Amino acid sequence: MLDIKNISKTFSPGTVNEKKALSDLSLSVKDGDFITIIGSNGAGKSTLFNAIAGSFYLDEGYIFLGGQDITFLEEHKRSRIIGRMFQDPLKGTAPSMSIEENIALAYLRSSEGTSPFSRISSRDKKNFREKLSLLGMGLEDRMRDPVGLLSGGQRQALTLLMATIVTPKLLLLDEHTAALDPGTAEKVIELTKKIVSEGNITCLMITHNMKQALTIGNRTLLMNDGNIVLDVSGNERESLTTSDLIDKFKKKVGEDLDNDRILLST
């Protein structure tokens, strides 16, 4: 489904700020996989997502999605088939536009055979309202409200709906609950699991929470220094504890996992 072959990326090459962010990384993702990704700051997690989304061109390697070579496909064209959410609730929505207008833009961008000048029908609006009601936040009764009036959790839930209003080939979640309070984060995680499961959406989710990394989805990746150092699934994953994950990191990398944010989440 998603095939990443030997990709590398170095930023500011030949300068004092040179940073090798991805190093000969390969990954194969099957249809319906829900993969959690964990790693310290600078491990290459978000850079991997940027590479998949087309935020920059690779130095080496190829990316295939659904059998299509998207290595040099422009970012805006990839956005029609790849949904994405960020850590910051302020990203992904237009605050001065209404809830309905934001959903309409996402729908028109992702739907085949439409253009930004297409019209939203009353049937479409009814569908938007029904989808909003499933979030359980009462947003279906606030469709004319500016998104800027919503709380962080409401905006993330809305962004999740926008990213999946037309089922994407791939959904990228970049620590999308990290900026929320624990209670709200848990609600958004439950919504995420429900939407991904019901839509059978292939999903990659970056998290700093080791427990989430081992209990959400069906596969866990551990990244370090621009590459994948651990890839676990099935019975092996089910039997792992967070302590096991820390031990495996040390054995693979030769040093302790020293990211306080990750360690405190255990």
Residue 259, number of CB atoms within 10 A of its CB = 16
Q: Residues 69, 70, 74, 78: what is their CA dihedral angle, to the nearest 10 degrees?
A: 130
> What whole-number percentage of the chain has pLDDT above 90?
80
CA dihedral of 156, 147, 101, 82, whole degrees rounded to 10: -20
Cα separation, 119 vs 105, whole angstroms: 10
Q: Which residue has the higher pLDDT, 89 or 220?
A: 220
Q: Which residues pair with 220 in a beta bridge?
A: 36, 232
Q: Is the pLDDT of residue 264 over 80?
A: no
| 191 pLDDT more than 70 | yes
Comparing CA positions, the residue from 198, 246, 200, 197 lying closest to residue 220 is 246
CB 39 within 8 A of CB 228: no
pLDDT of 262: 58
At 44, list the tokens: 């290459």
Report residue 232's pLDDT band, with 50, 70 and 90 as the boundaries: very high
pLDDT band at 266 (very low <50, low <70, confident <90, very high): low
**In the predicted model, is pLDDT for residue 69 greater than 70?**
yes
Q: Return the higher-pLDDT residue of 245 and 227.
A: 227
Rounded Cα distance, 266 and 250, in Å: 16
Cβ contact 28:4 at 8 Å: yes
pLDDT for 110:
82
pTM to 2 decimal places: 0.92
Q: What is the mean pLDDT of the chain?
A: 91
- Give CA–CA dist 98/146, Å, rounded: 4
DSSP 8-state class, residue 149:
G
**Helix, strand, or coil (residue 110):** helix
Q: Report the pLDDT averaged over residues 164-192.
A: 94
Q: Residue 24 corresponds to which amino acid? A: D
**The pLDDT value given to residue 254:** 72
pLDDT tens for 88-135 read 988 889 999 999 999 999 998 887 655 555 678 899 999 999 999 989
